[in-house]
Amino acid sequence: MLKQPLARSLQALSRPHPLQGLTRPFFCRSHALSPYLTPGCPPLLLISLQSFQPHTRSFTTHPSRSSASATVAAPKPSYSDDPQHLTDLLAVDDLPIISLDGNQVAIGWDPQTWSRFHNIWLRDHCRCPKCFHPVTKQRLFNTFDIPKDLTPLHAEATPLGLEVTWPSKEPHVSLYPWSWLHHNSYDPSLKKHQSSSDDIGRHRKILWGSKIQQSPPIIAYEDVMAPDNRGLYKWLSNVYEFGFCFVSGVPATPEATEQLALRIGFIRETQYGKFWDFTSDLAKGDTAYTTLALGAHTDNTYFTDPCGLQLFHLLSHTEGTGGETLLVDGFYAASIMKELHPEAYDLLSRVPVPAHAAGEPSELYTPYPQSGYPVLRHDSTTGELIQVRWNNDDRSVMNHLTPELVEKWYDAIRLWNECLTSADSEYWVQLRPGTAVLVDNHRVLHGRSAFNGKRRMCGAYIGVDEYRSKLAVLSEQFSPDAIVKATNDIPDTHVNGRNIWNSAL
Ligand SMILES: C[N+](C)(C)CCCC[C@H](N)C(=O)O
Ligand SMILES: O=C(O)CCC(=O)C(=O)O
């Protein structure tokens, strides 16, 4: 027979303990609960057990009138009144402990780790088919119907996740998978590495200098073109990690090169056309269409949103020399700047740089706002460097520097240029017909040496979002995120080829 559990009323903490109102049967011997309840824990809510099955915990909670003690009239639970029972409880079915805590639900992942989720946040993120369109993955529920004082009717820790019943004309049941809650925990954040908020590649970025020439990332054309997409995934994963990747064995034709670009997504058309096939004839009003050397730069600094990728394929170079390709890892150069010249790094991260493309009478491109964007752009949530934007040839008048910043800024870009042009940073490679190179235009700067003779280069731009979308879709297929793996067995989770709990949504 169940011994009367001793419930002690405890003074409320200034900040209620996350496990206040612990909603699970427990036999309140302080040492049994000590891992969870620190002295001064708030009065425990009276819990009337509706049904207690070892593998689920289903409760409806009513605020107790008496906080002195809470008698739990319970059907016989299967746990003995053993001080070890909480650990056993977690161990037996490894379910988190949940606690209704005013306007939040607290989840105890283990005695040291817990999260709190606001009721309004949970309700807003319900992904049942009534609240979240299973095919389009769009919110159907009207966020603004959520009362500010919303509290659950019912909370339950089940093997599938946290199940909450919300009060409404028809009580509404929401399920939140444990892995999804853990991944999206914001109080506190439980993300292991804050360095990258960008999960699409699920890879780390590998910074490199000139020594990359010993083993540059490369993949065979037939692998990239293979319909199973494994090679395409490898190609884009390499670009994510290194900022560039060669493709060998490409037929030296614009048609084959265009098909290669289209494996990633639709081509981004610009004033230079869709798929470009160019030479030094000034067919377009840009020095790329000359024989001049081009210093390390990223393209499209005159666009509000520079293209994400550039594909280059040298189709021919006859009766002349030169025209070597230069690649520089802008993230590597920036890491050196940050280490050696932090003030300059800060200026490059703050001072916007205007730019223009004005070589065609019919076009005059400048970014919006026209003051432009800093050379170095960071993720506002993680502080991580996410974009390098630099083309000193396309830079417009610096007419918004304060007088005291002018010389500092020129000192900063001088140091930046020294980093970019150092022997340690520059990777010179002579492209050949048959080997194309795909470059992350938000990270790797490219350029070329001067040349003479007849030189024909073709390629295309791909938008940054098309690149990231394709890599995200391939990552779903070849390296699904932990949440997708953990939630695959939940009914109605996979709809229209996508898991509704995908961490990108
Ligand atoms: C690539 N393609 C030859 C088409 C155009 C090159 C444009 C280069 C321009 N100065 C920029 O930096 O964006
Ligand atoms: O001609 C080349 O090798 C590269 C030209 C260039 O830098 C560009 O098109 O942005």
Statement: residue 74 has pLDDT above 70: no
Statement: residue 54 has pLDDT above 90: no
pLDDT higher for 464 or 196? 464
Q: What is the mean pLDDT of residues 289-294?
A: 98
How much of the chain, in percent, has pLDDT values that exceed 90? 77
Statement: residue 503 has pLDDT above 80: yes
Phi, psi of 296 (to 5 degrees): -55, 125
Q: What is the mean pLDDT of residues 238-261?
A: 98
Of the candidates 182, 170, 165, the one whose C-alpha atom is nearest the C-alpha of residue 126 is 165
Q: Identify the band that residue 199 occupies on the pLDDT scale cut at 50, 70 and 90.
A: low
Q: Which atom of ligand 2 is nearest to the CA of 457?
A: 1
For residue 218, the cross-strand partners are 246
Nearest-angstrom CA–CA distance, 167 and 179 = 25
Q: What is the pLDDT of residue 39?
A: 38
The 10s digit of each residue's pLDDT in 440-486 is 999 999 999 999 999 999 999 999 999 999 999 999 999 999 999 99
User: Per residue, what are the HEC states of 360-386?
Assistant: CCCCCECCCCCCCECCEEECCCCCCEE
Q: Is 276 in the pocket of ligand 1 (CB under 6 A)?
A: yes
Q: What is the pLDDT of residue 76?
A: 31
Q: Is 267 in the pocket of ligand 1 (CB under 6 A)?
A: no
Of the candidates 263, 256, 211, the one whose C-alpha atom is nearest the C-alpha of residue 234 is 263
In terms of residues, how long is the chain?
A: 505
Q: Identify the band that residue 198 occupies on the pLDDT scale cut at 50, 70 and 90.
A: low
The answer to whether the beta carbons of residues 400 and 207 sit under 8 Å apart is: no
Phi, psi of 155 (to 5 degrees): -140, 145
Query: Which of 312, 327, 435, 458 to probe ligand 2 with, by most ligand atoms within 8 A of CB?
Result: 312
Residue 106, both tokens: 């607290």
Least-confidence region, from 34-43, 168-177, 426-435: 34-43
Statement: residue 60 has pLDDT above 80: no
Closest residue by Cα to atom 9, ligand 2, is 288
Of the candidates 424, 306, 461, 327, the one whose C-alpha atom is nearest the C-alpha of residue 374 is 306
What is the average pLDDT score of the chain? 85
Q: Which residues of 346-381 are buried (b: 16+ CB within 10 A; e: fewer)?
A: ebbbebbbbbbbebeeeeebbbeeeebbbbbeeeee
The amino acid sitting at 33 is: L
**ipTM exceeding cut-off 0.95 for this assembly:** yes
Query: Which of 272, 303, 310, 437 to probe ligand 1 with, by most ligand atoms within 8 A of CB?
Result: 272
Q: Is 457 in the pocket of ligand 1 (CB under 6 A)?
A: no
Q: Is 313 in the pocket of ligand 2 (CB under 6 A)?
A: no
Q: Is 445 in the pocket of ligand 2 (CB under 6 A)?
A: no
The answer to whether the beta carbons of residues 461 and 309 sit under 8 Å apart is: yes
Q: What is the mean pLDDT of residues 47-60?
A: 38
Whether cis (ω within 30° of 0) applies to the bond prior to 369 is yes
> Which residue do the tokens 């769009």 mark?
138
Q: Identify the band that residue 213 occupies on the pLDDT scale cut at 50, 70 and 90.
A: very high
Q: What is the pLDDT of residue 191?
A: 85
Task: Tell me which DSSP letter residue 320 carries.
Answer: -
Q: What is the pLDDT of residue 308?
A: 98
Q: Is 278 in the pocket of ligand 1 (CB under 6 A)?
A: yes
Q: Is 300 in the pocket of ligand 2 (CB under 6 A)?
A: no
Q: What is the pLDDT of residue 395?
A: 98
The 10s digit of each residue's pLDDT in 262-279 is 999 999 999 999 999 999
Statement: residue 212 has pLDDT above 50: yes
Statement: residue 59 has pLDDT above 80: no
Task: Tell me which DSSP letter residue 199 carries.
Answer: -
Q: What is the pLDDT of residue 109?
A: 96
Q: Is 141 in the pocket of ligand 1 (CB under 6 A)?
A: no
Cα-Cα-Cα-Cα dihedral sign, residues 90, 95, 78, 490 = negative
How much of the chain, in percent, has pLDDT values that exceed 70? 80
Nearest-angstrom CA–CA distance, 393 and 400 = 18
Nearest-angstrom CA–CA distance, 146 and 216 = 54
Distance 270 CA to ligand 1 centre (A): 10
The 10s digit of each residue's pLDDT in 438-452 is 999 999 999 999 999
How many CB atoms within 10 Å of residue 431?
19
Q: What is the pLDDT of residue 33?
A: 33
Q: Identify the band that residue 241 occupies on the pLDDT scale cut at 50, 70 and 90.
A: very high
pLDDT higher for 94 or 180? 180
Q: Which atom of ligand 1 is nearest to the CA of 294?
A: 10
The 10s digit of each residue's pLDDT in 384-425 is 999 999 999 999 999 999 999 999 999 999 999 999 999 999
Residue 414, both tokens: 């001088």
Q: What is the H or E stretch that residue 181 is in? A: helix 178-183
DSSP string, 289-307: GSS--EEEE-S-TTSSS--
Statement: residue 43 has pLDDT above 50: no
The amino acid sitting at 244 is: F
Of the candidates 264, 294, 291, the one whose C-alpha atom is nearest the C-alpha of residue 278 is 291
For residue 154, the cross-strand partners are 60, 165
Q: What is the pLDDT of residue 130?
A: 97
Closest residue by Cα to atom 8, ligand 2, is 288
Q: Is 390 in the pocket of ligand 1 (CB under 6 A)?
A: no
Residue 127, both tokens: 């992904």
Angle at the Cα of 430 from the Cα atoms of 428 and 434, rounded to 5 degrees: 135
Q: What is the mean pLDDT of residues 28-48?
A: 33
Q: Is 21 left (phi over 0), alpha (psi -120 to 50) or beta?
A: left
Q: Is 365 left (phi over 0), alpha (psi -120 to 50) or beta?
A: beta
Query: Which of 269, 280, 299 to probe ligand 1 with, by most ligand atoms within 8 A of CB?
Result: 299
The answer to whether the beta carbons of residues 289 and 283 sit under 8 Å apart is: yes
Statement: residue 15 has pLDDT above 80: no
The amino acid sitting at 174 is: S
Q: Is 61 in the pocket of ligand 1 (CB under 6 A)?
A: no
